[in-house]
């Protein structure tokens, strides 16, 4: 099975609440959502962020929109006004997570690429 | 079925004015909500008010209302803004002046306040409430009690509803939750109250409010769709067409740029949420795991099936406290050997700190262009980069120590490797840290007032 970065399979966006970084992962399809739920665990995410996340990681499934909400505690160096990080509000945390490596079937990868293609086709032509 | 169109005119203090004007001019909305307050804006505004009791509101309200009111008032569009900040009554006085000067009266202004619990903290603690820190789990505010500079509760929509019942043209508030700026007008229009039969409908209003309250963030800003957004420099602010049964269509100003599609709505639904099944707001608890999203047309997304629980007994409160200073400096290194130069400079700075004995609580050194954003997660390639920056930031107890850190970076201007470049030095900044907590609802004495302008 090919090893790909999470970026291929999902969209993501992150923000902050105090020292909590929250990252929403939006799977590019229903079957990719189910696959991601089976491979993404709090332990794996914490490991992926190495020293950046000091506290616990929680995962909340959102089957209605095929998304996963990830809550990372003590993850922003103390929170927006106290942190020494340039990215005070953790807007780039989602893209750091999209660097995560996952092993995925050819079928799901093809499905994800098809979604990307359709988005480009459907909305791109309006520009 | 009755439908109300509500727009979002601002996501933060400093947002763009033009898309807000366009909402008023050509979007056929009945209400526009304006959020100007971030988690610690209140601490900043409190400080301004201490120096000058006639200030402490978000100053943008003056130029904004001068441009917005002449468009909105003749059309009967009502503006709901939390730009009152730490001084909503004074903000209302300023808006009164604008209405008189522009001859837009007669008008009524609703003012909502009482979110500031700083004067009552000791009284609330005396009754046994400890203000546990929601981030760190610390049980009591003992440790910071002498350093507290602001304590504002996130209050709900009830008094916004009361003021709308008074027939006001504008509502100016202190720290109401961003969300309540939208929940308020919807409750008023549809006659919802906090009794059980309206719980799911209020949850629907909370969900819709959440989706549009960050303005451009649901219309192609900060988006995974950034490559396909139309004329992003003409981005339109969002509009929710909300139906009496709680369903809504999310769209944006006709003819504007940006994009609203299933992904932009999804990415905002999941934005800055903790447990999505329990999105806790002062007016209710929304369940984002029941919502259905359907893109029904170009720049039109329908959201349905919102559910929730009754409003909580506690309100969130943001306590701001003084917590030292940050000193920061940047230098940049050009090819050749940019990365090697940056490493050389890091060692130089660390040795200098030892030599001069600067004390700091925490030191951070970033390689700009390599790992400033992704930190330890970023892979470092071994290649000859065009340029690399070094960012040196430290947290200190005193302003003098922060100055010393900042100055040390400037010494690299003359002693750094060949080509070391620098811009304008940054200023040392005082840190107001955040202590997020809860407060019993009944301990927050909210009030509202209706002002008339002839």
In this prediction, residue B47 carries a pLDDT of 86
Instruction: Decide the pairing of beta strands B78-81 and B170-173.
Output: parallel
- Cβ-Cβ contacts under 8 Å between A and B: the total is 156
Q: In this structure, how many other beta carbons lie within 10 angstroms of the beta carbon of residue B50? A: 12
Supply the pLDDT for residue B38: 86
Distance from CA of B69 to the nearest CA of A (A): 33
Mean pLDDT of B188-207: 98
What is the distance between the alpha carbons of residues B62 and B376, in angstroms, rounded to a whole number? 45
pLDDT of residue B269: 98
Do the Cβ atoms of B409 and B349 come closer than 8 Å?
yes
Residue in B227, B273, B372 nearest the CB of A69: B273
Contact: A71, B434; criterion CB under 8 Å = no
Provide the 10 A C-beta neighbour count for residue A123: 20
In this structure, the strands spanning B107-113 and A57-62 are: unpaired
Residue A127 confidence (pLDDT) above 80: no
Find chain B residues with C-beta within 8 A of A77's C-beta. 364
- pLDDT bin (cut points 50, 70, 90) of residue A21 is very high
Nearest to B269 among A65, A85, A120 (CB): A65
User: Each residue of B265-300: pLDDT tens digit?
Assistant: 999 999 999 999 999 999 999 999 999 999 999 999
Residue of B nearest to A124 (CA): B228
**Does residue B432 sit at the A interface (CB-CB below 8 Å)?**
yes
Alpha carbon distance B166, B107 (integer Å): 11
* C-alpha distance from B171 to closest chain A C-alpha (Å): 27
Structure tokens at A6: 């999470």
> How many Å lie between the alpha carbon of B104 and the closest alpha carbon of chain A?
40
> pLDDT digits over B408-430, tens only?
999 999 999 999 999 988 999 99
pLDDT-based confidence at residue B319 (cuts at 50, 70, 90)? very high
Best interface-test mutation with A: which of B233, B272, B436 has the largest number of A CBs within 10 A? B272
> Tens digit of pLDDT for each residue in B23-43?
999 999 999 999 999 887 888
Residue numbers of B between 95 and 154 with CB closer than 8 Å to A: 134-136
Q: What is the mean pLDDT of residues B72-80?
A: 98
A45-103, pLDDT tens digit by residue?
A: 999 999 999 999 999 999 999 999 999 999 999 998 899 999 999 999 999 999 999 99
B380 in reach of chain A (CB within 8 A): no
Query: CA A82 to CA B395: how far, in whole Å?
Result: 8
User: Is the overall model pTM greater than 0.80, yes or no?
Assistant: yes
- Mean of all residue pLDDT scores within chain B: 96
In the predicted model, what is the mean pLDDT of residues B87-116?
Answer: 97
List B316's β-bridge partners, or say none: B438
B393 touching A (Cβ < 8 Å) = yes
Per-residue pLDDT, averaged over B54-81, amounts to 97
Taking 70 as the threshold, does the pLDDT of residue A125 lie above it? no
Kindly state whether A121 is in contact with chain B, defined as any CB-CB distance less than 8 angstroms: no
pLDDT, tens digit (0-9, with 9 covering 90-100), for B337-353: 999 999 999 999 999 99
Q: Is B373 on the interface with A (CB under 8 A)?
A: yes
pLDDT 10s digits, B122-161: 999 999 999 999 988 999 999 999 999 999 999 999 999 9
CA distance B393 to A116: 39
Using a CB–CB cutoff of 8 Å, tell me whether A124 touches chain B: yes
Relative to beta strand A20-27, strand A101-103 is unpaired
Residue B122 in 3-state DSSP? helix
SS3 state at B357: coil
- Best to test chain B binding among A62, A71, A84 (most B CBs inside 10 Å): A84
Of chain B, the percentage scoring pLDDT greater than 90 comes to: 96
C-alpha closest to that of B366 among B337, B339, B385: B339
Rounded to an integer, the average pLDDT of B204-219 is 98
When pLDDT is averaged across residues B291-319 and rounded to a whole number, the result is 97
Residue B328 has pLDDT above 80, yes or no: yes
Q: Could you give the CA distance from residue A1 to residue A101 in angstroms, rounded to a whole number?
A: 12
Q: What pLDDT does residue A1 have?
A: 87
CA neighbor of B253 nearest in space, from B31, B29, B79, B12? B29
Taking residues A32-54, what's their average pLDDT? 97
């Amino acid at each position: 099975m090919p090893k790909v970065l999470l970026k291929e399979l999902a969209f993501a966006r992150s923000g902050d609440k105090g020292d909590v970084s929250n990252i929403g992962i939006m799977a590019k399809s229903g079957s990719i959502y189910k696959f991601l739920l089976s491979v993404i665990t709090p332990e794996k995410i914490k490991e992926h962020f190495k020293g950046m996340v000091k506290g616990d990681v929680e995962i909340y499934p959102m089957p209605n929109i095929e998304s996963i909400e990830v809550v990372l505690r003590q993850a922003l160096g103390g929170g927006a006004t106290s942190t020494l990080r340039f990215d005070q509000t953790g807007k780039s945390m989602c893209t750091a997570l999209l660097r995560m490596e996952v092993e995925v079937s050819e079928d799901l990868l093809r499905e994800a690429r098809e979604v990307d293609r359709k988005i480009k086709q459907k909305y791109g032509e309006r520009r | 079925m009755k439908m109300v169109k509500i727009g979002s005119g601002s996501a933060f203090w400093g947002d763009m004015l033009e898309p807000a004007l366009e909402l008023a001019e050509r979007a056929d909305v009945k209400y526009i909500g304006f959020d100007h307050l971030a988690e610690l804006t209140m601490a900043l505004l409190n400080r301004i008010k201490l120096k000058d009791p006639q200030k402490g509101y978000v100053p943008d309200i003056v130029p904004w209302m001068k441009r917005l009111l002449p468009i909105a008032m003749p059309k009967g569009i009502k503006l709901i803004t939390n730009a009152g900040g730490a001084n909503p009554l004074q903000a209302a006085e300023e808006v009164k002046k604008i209405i008189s000067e522009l001859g837009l009266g007669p008008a009524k202004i609703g003012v909502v306040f009482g979110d500031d619990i700083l004067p009552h903290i000791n009284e609330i603690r005396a009754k046994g409430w400890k203000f546990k820190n929601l981030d760190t789990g610390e049980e009591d505010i003992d440790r910071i009690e002498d350093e507290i500079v602001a304590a504002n509760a996130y209050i709900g929509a009830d008094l916004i509803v009361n003021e709308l019942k008074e027939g006001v043209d504008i509502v100016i508030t202190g720290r109401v939750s961003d969300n309540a700026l939208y929940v308020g007008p919807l409750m008023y229009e549809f006659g919802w109250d906090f009794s059980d039969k309206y719980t799911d409908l209020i949850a629907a209003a909370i969900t819709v409010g959440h989706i549009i309250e960050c303005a451009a963030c649901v219309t192609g800003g900060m988006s995974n769709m950034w490559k396909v957004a139309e004329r992003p420099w003409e981005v339109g602010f969002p509009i929710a067409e909300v139906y009496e049964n709680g369903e809504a269509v999310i769209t944006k100003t006709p003819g504007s740029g940006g994009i609203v599609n299933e992904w932009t709505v999804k990415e905002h639904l999941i934005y800055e949420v903790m447990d999505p099944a329990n999105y806790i707001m002062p007016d209710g608890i929304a369940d984002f795991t029941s919502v259905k999203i359907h893109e029904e047309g170009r720049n039109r997304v329908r959201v349905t099936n919102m559910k929730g629980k009754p409003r909580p007994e506690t309100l969130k409160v943001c306590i701001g406290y003084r917590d030292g200073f940050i000193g920061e400096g940047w230098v940049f290194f050009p090819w050749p050997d940019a990365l090697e130069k940056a490493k050389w400079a890091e060692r130089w700075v660390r040795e200098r700190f030892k030599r001069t004995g600067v004390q700091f609580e925490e030191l951070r050194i970033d390689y700009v262009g390599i790992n400033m954003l992704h930190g330890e997660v970023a892979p470092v390639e071994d290649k000859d980069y065009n340029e690399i920056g070094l960012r040196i930031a430290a947290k200190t107890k005193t302003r003098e120590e922060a100055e010393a850190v900042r100055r040390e970076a400037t010494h690299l201007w003359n002693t750094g490797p060949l080509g070391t470049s620098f811009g304008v030095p940054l200023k040392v900044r005082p840190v107001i840290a955040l202590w997020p907590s809860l407060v019993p609802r009944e301990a927050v004495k909210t009030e509202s007032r209706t002002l008339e302008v002839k």
